[in-house]
């Protein structure tokens, strides 16, 4: 198969971690007979320096012309002084809007080798944590009418929460499709005991479930879900939820897995083209020192293969290689246990090379 990938290295550790992911993709291409070609895109601080714009229109167009986008991270103190509309992060917001990605998908997976990094009790972690949160990204309370008015001599703030059936249906479909590619269990999270928007959410999800008889749909109230994620995260496989609930739950979920450097995410819309990135930022404090953890970005590339290119074997191959390297005891500094017992400290480039050495065609 031939695929064109728009590559945004970005700022800080972005170029270091993205380069490792590209080398992993190149090896996958050789092993499985695919041709990945890369189109470089400037975004963020580096684009401001070069073009005076965090995402020049032609750069956005390169992303829209690609089969998917792999992104490192943007931002850093160097650009703190630039006006708000020109900040590096504005490039990312413009990219998401331009690509019309309305679904953010963030896995919460604990690697057994890193179990001690989780703040949860070992007996809970031992049951396994491996689920994904599909969060609606462009609707809900963050995008409703916001106002502060004067009433009876005091300020009153109003934030409107609205969802249309079509907005719910399109994110619901991503939830069902994601569940289909995993264990076929989908948990829809809302607050239907209080909110009209949640009652509509629940109704649409159940209508949709008739089109997905192979996927088992359950409902859960968001407050209960927040509790269950720390009580027994092993019960979840795919969670689908609205924007603000997903924002909060996905941070809770990433925390229980232990390390920010390990977690990828994808953003998807109506087409198969997606935006794939690690969840962390540009880590300017460690940039250029070859100590960043590239695994979140390498796993983002694996997500791209699974969800945009329909290459599940290739994605499994990358995830197995990551697991093998962790089992061999190799750790970047962020995931090295305090006593470093049985572990070998590795740099960013070495971690990439070790993962490539462990890629075995399944």
247 is catalytic: yes
Contact code string over 296-325 relative to ligand NAD, x by CB under 6 A: x-----------------------------
Binding status of residue 254 toward ligand NAD by CB under 6 A: no
How far apart are the C-alpha atoms of 167 and 10, rounded to whole Å? 31
Radius of gyration of the chain from its Cα atoms, rounded to whole angstroms: 21
Residue position matching structure tokens 């749909």: 217
251 is catalytic: yes
Of the ranges 238-246, 291-299, 338-346, 353-361, which one interacts with ligand NAD (CB under 6 A)?
291-299
CB atoms within 10 A of CB 100: 14
Binding status of residue 172 toward ligand NAD by CB under 6 A: no
Of the ranges 135-143, 155-163, 266-274, 284-292, which one interacts with ligand NAD (CB under 6 A)?
284-292
CA dihedral (318, 321, 327, 333) positive or negative: negative
Binding status of residue 247 toward ligand NAD by CB under 6 A: no
CA dihedral (90, 95, 101, 107) positive or negative: negative
223 is catalytic: yes
Per DSSP, 260 falls in state: G
Of the ranges 142-150, 191-199, 238-246, 286-294, which one interacts with ligand NAD (CB under 6 A)?
286-294
Contact code string over 91-130 relative to ligand NAD, x by CB under 6 A: -x--------------------------------------
Three-state SS at 190: strand
How far apart are the C-alpha atoms of 319 and 299, rounded to whole Å? 7
How far apart are the C-alpha atoms of 280 and 108, rounded to whole Å? 14
Q: Which of residues 7, 73, 101, 108 is near ligand NAD by CB under 6 A?
A: 73
Query: How many residues can be counted in the chain?
Result: 362
Q: Which of residues 7, 59, 70, 74 is near ligand NAD by CB under 6 A?
A: 74
Binding status of residue 280 toward ligand NAD by CB under 6 A: yes
142 is catalytic: yes
Distance of CA 50 to the CA centre of its chain: 28
Per rule CB under 6 A, count of chain residues that contact ligand NAD: 22
Q: Which of residues 64, 221, 260, 343 is near ligand NAD by CB under 6 A?
A: 260
Per-residue CA distances from 103 to 169, 175, 240, 274, 320 (Å)? 12, 9, 10, 10, 26
Nearer to ligand NAD, 197 or 293 (CB): 293
Per-residue CA distances from 12 to 43, 192, 286 (Å)? 12, 43, 8
The catalytic site residues sit at 142, 191, 223, 247, 251
* Residues binding ligand NAD (CB under 6 A): 13, 17, 73-76, 89, 92, 260-261, 277, 280-286, 292-293, 296, 334
């Amino acid at each position: 198969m031939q695929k064109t990938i728009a590559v945004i290295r970005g700022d800080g550790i972005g170029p270091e971690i993205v380069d490792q992911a590209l080398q992993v993709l190149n090896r996958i291409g050789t092993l499985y007979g695919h041709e990945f070609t890369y189109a470089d895109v400037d975004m963020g601080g580096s684009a401001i320096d070069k073009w005076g714009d965090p995402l020049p229109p032609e750069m956005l167009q390169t992303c829209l012309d690609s089969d998917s986008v792999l992104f490192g991270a943007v931002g850093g103190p160097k650009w703190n002084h630039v006006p708000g509309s020109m900040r590096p992060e504005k490039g990312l917001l413009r990219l998401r809007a331009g690509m019309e990605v309305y679904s953010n998908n963030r896995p919460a997976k604990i690697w057994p080798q890193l179990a001690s990094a989780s703040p949860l009790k070992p007996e809970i972690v031992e049951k396994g944590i491996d689920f994904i949160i599909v969060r609606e990204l462009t609707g809900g309370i963050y995008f409703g009418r916001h106002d502060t008015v004067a009433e009876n001599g005091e300020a009153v703030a109003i934030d409107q929460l609205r969802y249309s059936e079509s907005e719910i249906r399109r994110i619901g479909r991503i939830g069902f499709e994601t569940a289909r590619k995993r264990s076929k269990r989908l948990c829809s999270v809302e607050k239907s005991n209080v909110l009209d928007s949640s009652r509509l959410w629940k109704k649409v999800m159940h209508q949709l479930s008739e089109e997905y008889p192979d996927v088992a749909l359950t409902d859960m109230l968001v407050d209960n879900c927040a509790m269950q994620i720390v009580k027994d995260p092993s019960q979840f496989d795919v969670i689908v939820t609205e924007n603000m609930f997903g924002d909060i739950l996905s941070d809770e979920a990433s925390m229980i897995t232990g390390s920010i450097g390990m977690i990828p995410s994808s953003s998807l819309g109506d087409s198969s083209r997606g935006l794939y990135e690690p969840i962390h930022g540009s880590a300017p404090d460690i940039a250029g020192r070859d100590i960043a953890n590239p695994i979140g970005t390498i796993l983002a590339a694996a997500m791209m293969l699974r969800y945009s290119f329909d290459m599940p074997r290739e994605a499994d191959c990358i995830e197995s290689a990551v697991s093998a390297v962790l089992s061999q005891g190799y750790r970047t500094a962020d995931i090295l246990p305090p006593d470093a017992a049985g572990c070998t400290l590795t740099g960013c480039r070495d971690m990439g090379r070790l993962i490539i050495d462990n890629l075995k065609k399944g």
